[in-house]
Protein backbone atom coordinates (compact mmCIF):
# COMPACT_ATOMS: atom_id res chain seq x y z
CA UNK A 1 0.00 0.00 0.00
CA UNK A 2 1.35 3.43 -0.94
CA UNK A 3 1.93 6.34 1.36
CA UNK A 4 -0.98 8.63 2.18
CA UNK A 5 -1.00 12.31 1.24
CA UNK A 6 -0.59 13.20 4.91
CA UNK A 7 2.55 11.04 5.21
CA UNK A 8 4.02 12.58 2.04
CA UNK A 9 3.25 16.11 3.24
CA UNK A 10 4.73 15.47 6.69
CA UNK A 11 7.97 14.13 5.22
CA UNK A 12 8.21 17.10 2.84
CA UNK A 13 7.70 19.51 5.73
CA UNK A 14 10.44 17.79 7.75
CA UNK A 15 12.89 18.39 4.91
CA UNK A 16 11.87 22.04 4.52
CA UNK A 17 12.29 22.52 8.26
CA UNK A 18 15.84 21.14 7.98
CA UNK A 19 16.57 23.61 5.17
CA UNK A 20 15.15 26.50 7.15
CA UNK A 21 16.82 25.74 10.49
CA UNK A 22 20.08 24.10 9.43
CA UNK A 23 19.22 21.17 11.69
CA UNK A 24 19.25 17.75 9.96
CA UNK A 25 16.29 15.44 10.43
CA UNK A 26 16.22 11.74 11.24
CA UNK A 27 16.07 9.37 8.24
CA UNK A 28 12.75 9.54 6.40
CA UNK A 29 12.69 5.86 5.48
CA UNK A 30 11.09 5.01 8.81
CA UNK A 31 8.17 7.35 8.04
CA UNK A 32 7.56 6.08 4.49
CA UNK A 33 6.46 2.61 3.34
CA UNK A 34 9.52 0.33 3.21
CA UNK A 35 11.44 0.76 -0.03
CA UNK A 36 8.69 2.88 -1.60
CA UNK A 37 10.65 4.91 -4.15
CA UNK A 38 7.44 6.29 -5.68
CA UNK A 39 6.55 7.77 -2.28
CA UNK A 40 10.04 9.28 -2.03
CA UNK A 41 9.63 10.96 -5.43
CA UNK A 42 6.20 12.18 -4.30
CA UNK A 43 7.91 13.88 -1.33
CA UNK A 44 10.46 15.43 -3.71
CA UNK A 45 7.68 16.65 -6.03
CA UNK A 46 5.74 18.08 -3.09
CA UNK A 47 8.70 20.27 -2.21
CA UNK A 48 9.44 21.09 -5.86
CA UNK A 49 5.87 22.37 -6.26
CA UNK A 50 6.17 24.29 -3.00
CA UNK A 51 9.41 26.00 -4.06
CA UNK A 52 8.15 26.81 -7.56
CA UNK A 53 5.08 28.43 -6.01
CA UNK A 54 7.43 30.41 -3.76
CA UNK A 55 9.21 31.82 -6.81
CA UNK A 56 12.19 29.55 -7.35
CA UNK A 57 13.03 28.80 -11.01
CA UNK A 58 13.74 25.32 -12.34
CA UNK A 59 16.82 25.25 -14.60
CA UNK A 60 17.57 21.55 -14.98
CA UNK A 61 18.11 18.21 -13.26
CA UNK A 62 20.86 16.39 -11.44
CA UNK A 63 21.53 12.69 -11.73
CA UNK A 64 22.68 10.83 -8.64
CA UNK A 65 23.84 7.31 -7.85
CA UNK A 66 25.72 6.89 -11.13
CA UNK A 67 28.59 5.06 -9.43
CA UNK A 68 28.27 1.27 -9.24
CA UNK A 69 30.04 1.38 -5.87
CA UNK A 70 27.52 3.84 -4.43
CA UNK A 71 24.61 1.91 -5.94
CA UNK A 72 25.88 -1.22 -4.19
CA UNK A 73 26.17 0.68 -0.89
CA UNK A 74 22.52 1.74 -1.11
CA UNK A 75 21.29 -1.55 -2.54
CA UNK A 76 20.00 -0.15 -5.83
CA UNK A 77 20.64 -0.82 -9.50
CA UNK A 78 19.70 2.49 -11.11
CA UNK A 79 20.43 6.20 -10.68
CA UNK A 80 18.07 8.77 -9.23
CA UNK A 81 17.28 12.38 -10.13
CA UNK A 82 16.70 15.72 -8.43
CA UNK A 83 15.81 19.28 -9.42
CA UNK A 84 18.24 22.11 -10.14
CA UNK A 85 17.00 25.61 -9.29
CA UNK A 86 18.50 28.89 -10.45
CA UNK A 87 19.42 29.89 -6.91
CA UNK A 88 21.62 26.79 -6.61
CA UNK A 89 24.01 28.03 -9.32
CA UNK A 90 27.36 29.55 -8.36
CA UNK A 91 29.87 31.29 -10.61
CA UNK A 92 33.24 29.73 -11.34
CA UNK A 93 35.68 30.88 -8.65
CA UNK A 94 32.99 31.92 -6.15
CA UNK A 95 33.55 31.57 -2.42
CA UNK A 96 30.52 30.15 -0.64
CA UNK A 97 29.69 30.00 3.06
CA UNK A 98 30.26 26.46 4.29
CA UNK A 99 26.90 26.60 6.09
CA UNK A 100 25.03 27.28 2.83
CA UNK A 101 24.61 23.51 2.44
CA UNK A 102 23.96 21.06 5.26
CA UNK A 103 26.80 18.53 5.67
CA UNK A 104 28.47 19.54 2.38
CA UNK A 105 30.65 17.36 0.18
CA UNK A 106 31.90 17.99 -3.35
CA UNK A 107 31.88 15.96 -6.56
CA UNK A 108 33.37 16.61 -9.99
CA UNK A 109 30.96 16.15 -12.87
CA UNK A 110 30.29 16.79 -16.54
CA UNK A 111 27.38 19.18 -17.08
CA UNK A 112 25.41 19.20 -20.32
CA UNK A 113 23.30 22.13 -21.53
CA UNK A 114 20.48 21.36 -23.97
CA UNK A 115 19.53 23.39 -27.02
CA UNK A 116 16.49 21.27 -27.93
CA UNK A 117 13.69 19.57 -26.04
CA UNK A 118 13.92 15.84 -25.36
CA UNK A 119 10.18 15.21 -25.27
CA UNK A 120 9.92 12.39 -27.82
CA UNK A 121 8.92 8.90 -26.62
CA UNK A 122 11.93 6.74 -25.70
CA UNK A 123 14.75 9.18 -26.55
CA UNK A 124 17.84 7.52 -28.00
CA UNK A 125 21.50 8.28 -27.41
CA UNK A 126 21.65 10.11 -30.73
CA UNK A 127 18.66 12.21 -29.68
CA UNK A 128 20.55 13.21 -26.52
CA UNK A 129 23.72 14.05 -28.45
CA UNK A 130 21.78 16.05 -31.05
CA UNK A 131 19.89 17.96 -28.36
CA UNK A 132 23.05 18.93 -26.44
CA UNK A 133 24.40 22.41 -27.13
CA UNK A 134 27.64 21.98 -25.16
CA UNK A 135 29.35 20.45 -22.16
CA UNK A 136 31.02 22.15 -19.20
CA UNK A 137 33.17 21.01 -16.29
CA UNK A 138 31.22 21.23 -13.04
CA UNK A 139 31.45 20.91 -9.28
CA UNK A 140 28.41 19.76 -7.38
CA UNK A 141 28.24 20.69 -3.70
CA UNK A 142 26.02 17.90 -2.43
CA UNK A 143 24.38 18.01 0.96
CA UNK A 144 22.01 16.01 3.08
CA UNK A 145 19.16 17.14 5.26
CA UNK A 146 19.33 13.64 6.81
CA UNK A 147 21.40 13.48 10.00
CA UNK A 148 24.93 12.07 9.60
CA UNK A 149 24.31 11.19 5.94
CA UNK A 150 22.47 8.10 7.21
CA UNK A 151 20.70 7.54 3.91
CA UNK A 152 19.09 4.78 1.92
CA UNK A 153 17.49 5.25 -1.50
CA UNK A 154 14.18 6.68 -0.26
CA UNK A 155 16.00 9.21 1.92
CA UNK A 156 18.15 10.66 -0.85
CA UNK A 157 15.34 10.64 -3.44
CA UNK A 158 12.97 12.48 -1.11
CA UNK A 159 15.77 14.92 -0.26
CA UNK A 160 16.02 16.10 -3.89
CA UNK A 161 18.78 13.56 -4.57
CA UNK A 162 20.94 15.10 -1.82
CA UNK A 163 21.37 18.28 -3.84
CA UNK A 164 22.95 21.50 -2.65
CA UNK A 165 24.65 23.93 -5.03
CA UNK A 166 26.53 23.62 -8.31
CA UNK A 167 29.33 25.47 -10.07
CA UNK A 168 29.80 25.45 -13.85
CA UNK A 169 32.90 26.23 -15.85
CA UNK A 170 32.68 29.09 -18.30
CA UNK A 171 34.06 27.76 -21.58
CA UNK A 172 31.44 25.73 -23.48
CA UNK A 173 32.76 22.69 -25.39
CA UNK A 174 30.86 21.00 -28.20
CA UNK A 175 30.46 17.22 -27.96
CA UNK A 176 31.98 16.71 -31.41
CA UNK A 177 35.45 15.28 -30.92
CA UNK A 178 34.97 14.73 -27.17
CA UNK A 179 35.21 11.22 -25.74
CA UNK A 180 33.49 11.70 -22.40
CA UNK A 181 34.03 8.06 -21.45
CA UNK A 182 37.79 8.61 -21.37
CA UNK A 183 37.67 12.16 -19.95
CA UNK A 184 40.04 12.09 -16.98
CA UNK A 185 39.23 14.09 -13.85
CA UNK A 186 41.49 15.42 -11.11
CA UNK A 187 40.18 17.24 -8.04
CA UNK A 188 42.48 19.18 -5.72
CA UNK A 189 41.71 20.60 -2.28
CA UNK A 190 44.08 23.43 -1.31
CA UNK A 191 46.41 22.14 -4.02
CA UNK A 192 46.42 18.53 -2.81
CA UNK A 193 44.96 15.82 -5.02
CA UNK A 194 41.93 14.33 -3.27
CA UNK A 195 39.86 12.64 -5.99
CA UNK A 196 40.54 11.23 -9.43
CA UNK A 197 38.30 9.51 -11.93
CA UNK A 198 37.01 9.47 -15.48
CA UNK A 199 33.82 9.56 -17.47
CA UNK A 200 33.67 5.77 -17.42
CA UNK A 201 32.85 5.93 -13.68
CA UNK A 202 29.54 7.61 -14.52
CA UNK A 203 27.40 4.70 -15.81
CA UNK A 204 30.20 3.94 -18.28
CA UNK A 205 29.80 7.36 -19.92
CA UNK A 206 28.11 10.60 -18.79
CA UNK A 207 26.00 10.40 -21.95
CA UNK A 208 24.53 7.11 -20.68
CA UNK A 209 23.45 8.92 -17.52
CA UNK A 210 21.90 11.72 -19.59
CA UNK A 211 20.04 9.15 -21.69
CA UNK A 212 18.66 7.46 -18.55
CA UNK A 213 17.47 10.85 -17.32
CA UNK A 214 15.92 11.86 -20.65
CA UNK A 215 13.91 8.64 -20.80
CA UNK A 216 12.91 8.81 -17.15
CA UNK A 217 11.72 12.42 -17.40
CA UNK A 218 9.56 11.54 -20.42
CA UNK A 219 8.08 8.64 -18.44
CA UNK A 220 7.15 10.89 -15.50
CA UNK A 221 5.66 13.54 -17.78
CA UNK A 222 8.29 16.24 -17.20
CA UNK A 223 10.63 15.97 -20.20
CA UNK A 224 13.90 17.85 -20.43
CA UNK A 225 13.66 21.10 -22.36
CA UNK A 226 15.91 23.43 -24.33
CA UNK A 227 18.09 25.41 -21.95
CA UNK A 228 18.07 22.75 -19.24
CA UNK A 229 21.29 22.01 -17.36
CA UNK A 230 21.97 18.34 -16.73
CA UNK A 231 24.46 17.42 -14.01
CA UNK A 232 25.37 13.91 -15.15
CA UNK A 233 26.93 12.44 -12.00
CA UNK A 234 30.22 12.06 -10.17
CA UNK A 235 33.42 11.11 -12.02
CA UNK A 236 35.19 10.13 -8.79
CA UNK A 237 34.75 9.82 -5.03
CA UNK A 238 32.98 12.56 -3.02
CA UNK A 239 35.21 14.75 -0.87
CA UNK A 240 34.36 16.51 2.40
CA UNK A 241 35.13 20.22 2.76
CA UNK A 242 36.08 22.55 5.60
CA UNK A 243 36.34 26.33 6.06
CA UNK A 244 39.17 27.76 3.96
CA UNK A 245 39.16 24.95 1.43
CA UNK A 246 39.53 25.75 -2.26
CA UNK A 247 38.40 23.02 -4.65
CA UNK A 248 39.89 22.90 -8.14
CA UNK A 249 38.63 20.43 -10.75
CA UNK A 250 40.17 19.69 -14.13
CA UNK A 251 38.46 17.44 -16.67
CA UNK A 252 40.40 16.55 -19.81
CA UNK A 253 38.85 18.11 -22.89
CA UNK A 254 36.57 20.35 -20.83
CA UNK A 255 38.90 22.57 -18.80
CA UNK A 256 38.76 23.63 -15.16
CA UNK A 257 36.35 24.95 -12.53
CA UNK A 258 36.89 26.17 -8.96
CA UNK A 259 34.98 26.98 -5.78
CA UNK A 260 36.09 28.14 -2.33
CA UNK A 261 34.53 27.78 1.12
CA UNK A 262 34.49 30.39 3.85
CA UNK A 263 33.78 29.73 7.50
CA UNK A 264 30.80 32.05 7.54
CA UNK A 265 27.34 30.67 8.11
CA UNK A 266 24.73 30.91 5.37
pLDDT band for 1, please (50, 70, 90 cuts): very low
Instruction: Decide if 94 is inside a domain.
Output: yes
- What's the domain count of the chain? 1
Instruction: Decide if 5 is inside a domain.
Output: no
Instruction: Decide if 14 is inside a domain.
Output: no
What is the tens place of the pLDDT at every residue in 207-255?
Answer: 999 999 999 999 999 999 999 999 999 999 999 999 999 999 999 999 9
Tell whether the torsion through CA atoms of 163, 171, 134 and 173 is positive or negative.
negative
49-55 long-range contacts, CB within 8 A, separation 24+:
50/12, 50/16, 51/85
Residues ≥6 apart with Cβ < 8 Å to 147: 24, 25, 26, 27
Instruction: Decide if 45 is inside a domain.
Output: no
The domain in which residue 132 lies consists of 57-262
Please state, in angstroms and rounded to a whole number, the distance separating the CA atoms of residues 245 and 50.
33
Instruction: Decide if 17 is inside a domain.
Output: no
- CATH number of the domain to which 168 belongs: 3.90.850.10
Instruction: Decide if 40 is inside a domain.
Output: no
Instruction: Decide if 9 is inside a domain.
Output: no
Instruction: Decide if 148 is inside a domain.
Output: yes
Does pTM surpass 0.85? yes
* Percent of the chain at pLDDT exceeding 70: 98
What is the tens place of the pLDDT at every residue in 133-162?
Answer: 999 999 999 999 999 999 999 999 999 999
Per-residue model confidence (pLDDT) at position 264:
62
Amino acid sequence: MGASDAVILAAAERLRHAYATGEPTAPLRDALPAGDVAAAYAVQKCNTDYWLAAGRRLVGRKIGLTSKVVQKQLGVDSPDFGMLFADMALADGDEVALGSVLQPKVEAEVALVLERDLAMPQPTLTDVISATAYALPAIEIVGSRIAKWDIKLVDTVADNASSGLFVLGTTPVKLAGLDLRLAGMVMERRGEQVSIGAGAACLGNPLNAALWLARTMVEVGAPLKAGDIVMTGALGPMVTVAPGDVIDVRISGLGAVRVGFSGASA
